[in-house]
Structure 1
Amino acid sequence: MARSLASNALTILVVLMVAAGSIIGWGRSQYAGRGPLEDAICVVVPSGASMSKISRDLEEQGAISNGTIFRLGAEYSKRSNQLKAGSFVVEPHASMDEIIEAITASGRSTCGTEVNYRVGVAEANMVVRELDPGTQQYVELASYVPGEEPAPEGLDAIMENPSTRYRITLAEGVTSWQVIEELKRAPFLSGEVAEVPAEGSLAPDSYETPKGADLGELVAEMKSRQSAILADLWAARAEGLPLETPEEALTLASIVEKETGVADERPMVASVFVNRLKDGMRLQTDPTVIYGLTEGKAPLGRGIRQSELRKATPYNTYVIPGLPPTPIANPGRESIAAALNPADTDYLFFVADGSGGHAFASTLREHNENVRRWREIEAQQVAQ
């Protein structure tokens, strides 16, 4: 009798152990295996949200099969308290483990509605766009120029939504005065800046920022990024450059930035100015003359007059030797890199070639021929 009871108890124990093992194995397969989601979705994690709430949302959207296993997996992997507020893409058939990684890892939003205030050389505008999680392409919902056009209908509701993200994008070649004046109009920023930052000191880049971010702190981040970029590239500069300080490199980079919008040309344009500096030739570049006239506060809006080319100003490189005293815009990383590692050429001249780029020349004779061709192209364009 006792033996029979012991045998039955042992059998029950073995069955329970097998069952427990099966349950654990099933749970692991549910957690790490292919998920049920058929199409990509955008999961919003509000600030202060709990893993329990997110697991319920994911169950409702069909992204996970079991909220309890999801929460246990997050707890076991010690990520249950590492939720990041934002909007995150969940790919089709993502496992629970992959979803937890997406919503706890970097905190960088990968989908949802975004308000992007873009500061360009000609104008600034605010674009409201949404990332389609299926195609990973942004869909523009609205666009307008703050201070000049009325805000689009529905913008207030979008900006009141706590999941909406905000971004500031600075174009390469904008001036510091432009940046500050335009950012004063950004409706989602707060605070003030006491003075316009030094020309060239702001990094053209994309800055994700919370609603209500302080303008002064944002500008400090722009300055910090530019300082880091300049220090990094200055340390890797080519030998023998006619540049004594990082500040001179920034000035040359700003001229390169304003002289060409063709990325591949930057090292060649830089080589022209480096060669001229080495040979003691004046730079003779129009963007510096324009900056001397406008102080970077507005486009000139017309051609440069001959009298202005002859007028002595600190920025008129047709008159002064060497570089102007400061940068004439905020150059991007690629223009700084070009100034510090220019192409190895003997070019001393360049002129527009009609295709959006430039024709380069080593001698004045070659340059004059390129200028003649450009004049013909200009005449043909006017005739059309």
Structure 2
Amino acid sequence: MTIGSGIFTFLLFVFVAVGLAGWYGQRAFTEPGPLTTEKVVNIPRGAGVRDMAEILEREGVIQSWVLFVAGQKLARPDASLKAGEYVFKPGQSVASIIDTIASGKVVLHQVTIPEGLTSQQVVKRLMDNDLLTGTPAVPQEGTLLPETYRIHRGMTRDAVLQEMADAQKKLLATIWAKRAPDVPLKSPQELVTLASIVEKETGKDDERPKVAAVFVNRLTKKMRLQSDPTIIYGIVGGRGSLGRPISRTDIATATAYNTYAIDGLPPGPICNPGKDALMAAANPPKTKDLFFVADGTGGHAFAETLADHNKNVARWRAIEQGAAPAQGGQPPAAPAATPPAAPGR
């Protein structure tokens, strides 16, 4: 009788202790945590539950790694905790923290790819971003859409490039379907090629349609495009920058891309054009302009005739040399080194 009473008392004690422990554990699991300000913590790939717990304790997000591990095993056994960068709120409970990590809703960052970069330059920009991982191959020129993309820490550079390629393919299909019927382009690839030249010729939004119109007019009239950026691409390719002014020798040196030396469009794009350049090339305004040259304000002066173009060139050369036009309003003659028929000189 005494032994039975003792066992009963012991069991009662155990049940009470377990109940109290469970009550305390549940309370600790759901009560506000120690964080007083919002905090971003990175959970690295390959981290186990205890590794995560120790990181969170070290960062002051939770009070004890033991409670995190126990809570996950007992209260959230089916939760699949994912690596990544997470933001935790002030006072967030252990239960809520586990739910946050299981959700996979990581912190998102932005990466902006400007219009007009070559694919090689795009890859270089992604390689300079230490949030991303992997070493990708350089995609085909003109297949990426310059835009601002959302990325997360640990995301692969290949994944970003694929997103850019998918976005470009989708946009290109839409623009090609809505192109002007008389644009002398045979394929979406030719549209990208023309748009890439437009993109490199001007950085001004309001000028892209005008520049596109000049090149479309020249294509229609079987005139050579004579675009300086094609000279540069023919020499340096995807590196993008010549690093010096274009010389007479450069203009006269034939390459597959030099539109002073070849008829029509080059064999492919010379950069990755943006949406505005693609739209301008697909639907240029109706003009008679065949030439353009810098006007000294960051824009260009457009002309329908060679005579007017030569006057615009002379004005630009005077601005370059810091000289004033001759009396009577007549500008000095354009230097002989400048090919008078070049639209972009």
TM-score category, normalised to shorter length: 0.5 to 0.7
Q: Which residue among 190, 193, 197 is the counterpart of 1:251?
A: 193
Give the superposition deviation at 1:182.
2.6
1:174-218 deviations in Å (ceiling 9; x for gaps): 00001112312321111221x211111111001111110011111
Q: Which residue among 127, 130, 133 is the counterpart of 1:187?
A: 130
Give the superposition deviation at 1:170.
0.1
Give the superposition deviation at 1:250.
0.2
Where in structure 2 are the equivalents of 1:1-384 lying within 5 Å?
163=107, 165-193=108-136, 195-380=137-322
User: 2:231 & 2:318 partners in 1: Cα distance?
Assistant: 25
User: 2:231 & 2:129 partners in 1: Cα distance?
Assistant: 31
The SS at the match of 1:315 is coil
1:342-374 deviations in Å (ceiling 9; x for gaps): 011000000000111000000000000100111
Structure 1 unmatched ranges of 5 or more: 1-41, 48-84, 88-106, 110-161
1:116-140 deviations in Å (ceiling 9; x for gaps): xxxxxxxxxxxxxxxxxxxxxxxxx
| Contact 2:232–2:240 under 8 Å retained in 1 | no
1:145-174 deviations in Å (ceiling 9; x for gaps): xxxxxxxxxxxxxxxxx75x3221100000
User: 1:360 & 1:368 partners in 2: Cα distance?
Assistant: 11
Give the superposition deviation at 1:281.
0.2
1:74 counterpart residue number: none
Q: Identity, % of aligned pairs?
A: 50
Give the superposition deviation at 1:43.
8.0
User: 2:238 & 2:316 partners in 1: Cα distance?
Assistant: 28
TM-score, normalising length from structure 1? 0.57
2:332 counterpart residue number: none
Higher relative contact order (CA 8 A, sep 6+): 2
User: 1:298 & 1:212 partners in 2: Cα distance?
Assistant: 28
The SS at the match of 1:351 is strand
Give the superposition deviation at 1:45.
10
User: 1:86 & 1:360 partners in 2: Cα distance?
Assistant: 53
The SS at the match of 2:238 is coil
Between Structure 1 and Structure 2, whose CA radius of gyration is higher? 2
1:67-86 deviations in Å (ceiling 9; x for gaps): xxxxxxxxxxxxxxxxxx98
User: 2:264 & 2:143 partners in 1: Cα distance?
Assistant: 21
AA in 2 matched with 1:167: Q
| Contact 2:222–2:264 under 8 Å retained in 1 | yes
Following TM superposition, the consecutive aligned residue runs of length 4 or more in structure 1 with deviations greater than 2 angstroms are 42-47
| Contact 2:256–2:262 under 8 Å retained in 1 | yes
CA spacing shift, 1:346–1:205, aligned 2, 3 Å: same
Structure with bigger strand share is 1
1:81 counterpart residue number: none
1:201-249 deviations in Å (ceiling 9; x for gaps): 1110011111100111111101000111111100110111110000000
User: 1:269 & 1:280 partners in 2: Cα distance?
Assistant: 17
User: 1:306 & 1:289 partners in 2: Cα distance?
Assistant: 11
User: 2:124 & 2:112 partners in 1: Cα distance?
Assistant: 14
TM-score, normalising length from structure 2? 0.63
User: 1:221 & 1:230 partners in 2: Cα distance?
Assistant: 14
